Structure 1
Amino acid sequence: MSFFFIVFIITIVLNVWTIFNSFFLYPLSANRKLGETPSVSLLVPLRNEADNVEGLIHSLRALTYPDVEVILLDDHSEDGTFEKLNEQVRDDGRFTIIQGKELPEDWNGKVHACHQLSQAANGEYYLFLDADARVAPGIIQQTLAMMQEKKASMLSGFPNYPNANFLSHMLVPLQHMVVLLHLPLFVANRTTKPMFTAACGIFIMIDRKAYEAIGGHESVKSSLVEDVHIAREVKKHGYKMILANITESVLSYMYDSGKETWEGFKKNVYTGIGRSAGMVVFLTIFYAVVFLTPAAFAIAGLVTGDYALVLPYLLTVAFKMYVDARTGHPLWLSFLLPVAVVLLIAIMVASMFVHKRGEKYQWKGRFYQ
């Protein structure tokens, strides 16, 4: 059997698997019936987010859920975030603004901010939201209805990303691709097995009882990927956690520049794969075979006129296009998948070397080991 034929079969399986797996990524919907209407605390940590404050508050003012409090924590911002929050919130009684305490030595900055937010919250459910997120007015109803239907204590999801620079276009939407490719959602969303877990800290809704049972954010206080680790703790304690397709109701302006995109991914990606050099090697080989080899065959086919060689590449395009269509991202991104994969491999290696050299990851003026 030729190597080309093997790659061709792999790309067919890639498409079949992704389509099947996507059926278990439940979409939020306004059509789901909401039963009980528990009180909700919407909690937002902000550090140097002045540019996001106006859009965030405008989005949160439009929420239609009847029993919600919004608590915003300014985490020692240096760009006027606190002043802008006060200016935008004004006399809206649903909003409370607090200032964060000094960061303890053994805590991650965002985790500590979320911990303080939870201590100030009164709701029966907590919705942790990042400052760069924008949500649909009915997002709380949609999320609670899904959780009630699936009997889940925690729900998370990856939003739609309207990216503003080339590097973000290449890397940020890959989060959806990675989930649909690597995580068997029919196991992740139907069992409490911790190893089958993904989460996104931009959007996490959790039952307060489950949150307190796992020890809250304090249980993952030093984590750089606290979202995943909280989800695992939820499952370890026997609670159900589900991942949903939230892209029609939540979007995130995640990174403003290529440099910020690179630094953000470099901080998280190696930690996200368990700081395993072996996993970096495996994923590099896997992505090279599955995504880069078809591109090489396509180039050879175009040069030689043997257009059958282009088929595996077109199948990888179809795979990525399916993912982007389901998550609301531009379909032209699918044709540049080999470029995105090369960049992903490069950032995995760069992230690994930061750790191997004993250096620290930098994010928003703070340093993390």
Structure 2
Amino acid sequence: MSASEILWIILTTALGVQLIFALWNATCLPKIRSFSADRLLHQDTLVSVLIPARNERLHIEGCLESVLASNTTGYRMEVLVLNDRSEDETAALVQEIANRDARVRLLDGVEPPPGWMGKSYACHQLVQEAKGEWFMFVDADVRLEPEAIRQTVAAGCEMGRGLVTGFPYQVAKTWMEKLVVPMMVFTIISHLPIFMIRRSSSPLFVAATGAFLLIHRSSYEASGGHAAIQGDLVDDMSLAKAVKRAGHPVMLADVHELVSTRMYQNGTEVWNGYKKNMYEGTGRRDVLLLGTLVMYTLMYLVPPLGLLFGLLSGSSAAIMYGLIGTLLGMGVKRVADQTGGQPWWLACLQSVSMACVIGIGMASWRAGRSGKGYVWKGRRYS
């Protein structure tokens, strides 16, 4: 047996193990619908829905309408929207809705103090005005089904305190969205042991998205809130880690049937959004990011390239191992896509999606290391 065949066997074995892990890991993700909301029927819980909004003219009305249509049986709801110094009609649109529904209140945001990230300070300002026992952070581009908040609060009540979050169904329309945005769930399903998020107190085992995040007031205060992570670019992950360090539980749940979002509107936004988060998401650790990108290259780009080489050269070994590896990689992607509610055919484009992720990851690393920083929603982050 040649050295190349041994390497192919190692690679395909690793992909097979990865597929088995992904299949098992997906079963560990609790569905938000599985939590009984009956326990809320005899409570008078106040939930503060907190929405930071900066230049969200396209999204804010739809977001508020979906929030206000929520089933509030068993709890009360207040909705606070912070106009984060928008330059469009965001404030006027919110005020129109507030004039019709007393549950909605518009707040005017101010310039962040030195050292604060913009969104973190917006969330901090919202909390200062919130009266609820639970804080439900919702991004303006999110849409909720009527049971979304109620079921999530039920999950929080089962824990008693802590943080509950989940990745919304990702609406993707442009090709870059379809190829890249679902890879968020792929990363979780492929690498993070989901059962450890609730069982372990270690902040290493955590995943969160600020787009849809519920946190108990006591847990927010114990963690230090956004004030404790004011300079962190990836604020949602930092907040979840701070909650764990404070000894409070964190739950990642499957919410895609009740929560949806279109995070980005075009390819440029996808590139810049992921570029902003990838290097920071690894804690600016070069070895972790670059090592991950090398692993992705070996596992998800080498097999299809080997298959292509085999077809062109007539190498039966390259064809066999390249085909097996490619199919296994597609299988991992399909498990992740099914978890996130994405269509089956996206798995066939796994190698293209991975090539895009690797390209964005390298751009994120270069921008972070060079000091050029990132640009997002008119703000530059260094």
TM range (shorter): over 0.9
Deviation at 1:360, TM superposition (A): 2.5
Scaled by the length of structure 1, what TM-score is found?
Answer: 0.96
- Deviation, 1:31, is 5.9
The residue aligned with 2:95 is 86
Runs of 4+ in 1 over 6 A off after TM superposition: none
Asked whether the equivalents of residues 97 and 104 of structure 2 are also in contact (C-alpha less than 8 Å), the reply is: no
Corresponding residue number in structure 2 for 1:324:
337
Q: Which amino acid aligns with 2:51?
A: V
Give 1:86 deviation, angstroms. Answer: 1.7
Contact kept? 1:154, 1:241, Cα under 8 Å: yes
Match of 2:379 among 344, 366, 369: 366
Residue 263 of structure 1: how far off its partner (Å): 0.9
- 1:223–1:338: structure 2 CA closer, same or farther, 3 Å change rule? same
Q: Partner residue of 1:285? A: 294
Which of 110, 123, 127 is equivalent to 2:132?
123
- RMSD of aligned Cα (Å): 1.6
> Paired residue for 1:166?
175
| Aligned: 1:339 with 2:343 | no
Q: Aligned pair in 2 of structure 1 residues 152, 5: CA closer, same or farther (>3 Å)? A: farther
Q: CA deviation at 1:281?
A: 2.1
Structure 2 counterpart of 1:64, from 58, 68, 71: 71
The 3 A distance-change label for structure 1 pair 301 and 189 is farther
- In the alignment, the residues of structure 2 paired with residue 31 and residue 204 of structure 1 have an alpha-carbon distance, to the nearest angstrom, of 16
1:67 alignment partner, SS class = strand
2:369 to 327, 347, 356: 356
Tell me which of 274, 279, 301 is aligned to 1:265: 274
1:32–1:145 CA contact under 8 A, matched in 2: yes
Please report how far the alpha carbon of residue 353 of structure 1 lies from its aligned counterpart in structure 2 after TM superposition.
1.2
User: Which residue of the other structure, out of 5, 20, 25, is the alignment partner of 1:21?
Assistant: 25
State the SS of the aligned residue for 2:252: strand
Q: Alpha-carbon deviations, 1:208-261, whole Å to 9, x = none?
A: 011011121111111111111111110001101111111111111100111111
Please say if residues 161 and 219 of structure 2, whose CA atoms lie closer than 8 Å, have aligned partners that are also in contact: no
**Equivalent position to 2:149, from 140, 164, 167:** 140
The structural deviation recorded for 1:170 is 1.3
Correspondence for 2:52 among 45, 49, 55: 45
What is the CA-CA distance between 1:68 and the residue it aligns to?
A: 0.6
Find 2:109's aligned residue among 75, 100, 112. Answer: 100
The answer to which of 303-312 and 184-193 deviates more is 303-312
**Post-superposition offset of 1:300:** 3.4
Contact 2:94 2:106 in 1 (8 A): yes
TM-aligned CA deviation for residue 276 of structure 1: 1.5
Shift of 1:305: 8.1
Q: Are residues 1:314 and 2:321 paired?
A: no
> How many Å apart are 1:152 and its aligned residue?
5.0
Structure 2 CA distance, aligned partners of 1:213 and 1:353? 36
Cα distance in 2 for partners of 1:30, 1:186 equals 16
Kindly provide the CA deviation profile for residues 166-204 of structure 1, in whole angstroms up to 9, marking residues without a partner as x.
111111110001011111112122121111111111011
What corresponds to 2:283 in structure 1?
Answer: 274
The 3 A distance-change label for structure 1 pair 189 and 302 is farther
> How far apart are the structure 2 equivalents of 1:30 and 1:315?
31
Distance in 1 of aligned mates of 2:285 and 2:254: 28
Greater CA deviation, 130-139 or 60-69? 60-69
Partner SS, residue 128 of structure 1: strand
Q: Secondary structure at the match of 1:86?
A: helix
Amino acid at match of 2:220: Y
Partner in structure 2 of residue 5 of structure 1: 9
- Give the conservation status (yes or no) of the 8 Å contact 1:24–1:189: no
Structure 1 spans left out of the alignment, 5+ residues:
none
2:169–2:259 contact (8 Å) kept in structure 1: yes
- Secondary structure in 2 aligned to 1:213? helix
Contact 1:297–1:313 (CA under 8 A) maintained in structure 2: no
Deviation per residue, 1:82-102 (Å, 9 max, x gap): 112122343201111111012
Q: Distance in 2 between matches of 1:57 and 1:118?
A: 18
Give the Cα separation in 1 of the matches to 2:310 and 2:166.
39
Given that 1:270 and 1:352 are in contact with CA atoms closer than 8 Å, whether structure 2 keeps it comes out as yes
Contact 2:161 2:218 in 1 (8 A): no
In structure 2, stretches of 5+ residues that fail to align are none
1:196 aligns with 2:205: yes
Aligned positions, number = 369
Given that 2:220 and 2:243 are in contact with CA atoms closer than 8 Å, whether structure 1 keeps it comes out as yes
1:6 maps to amino acid:
I
d(CA) in 2 for partners of 1:332, 1:193: 36
> What percentage of aligned pairs have identical amino acids?
34
Confirm or deny: 8 A CA contact 1:284 1:345 kept in the other structure.
yes
TM-score by length of 2: 0.93
Partners of 1:34 and 1:141 within 8 A in 2: no
Moved more, 167-176 or 108-117: 167-176
Separation of aligned partners in 1, 2:34 and 2:63: 22
Q: In structure 2, how many angstroms separate the alpha carbons of the residues matched to 1:284 and 1:316? A: 15
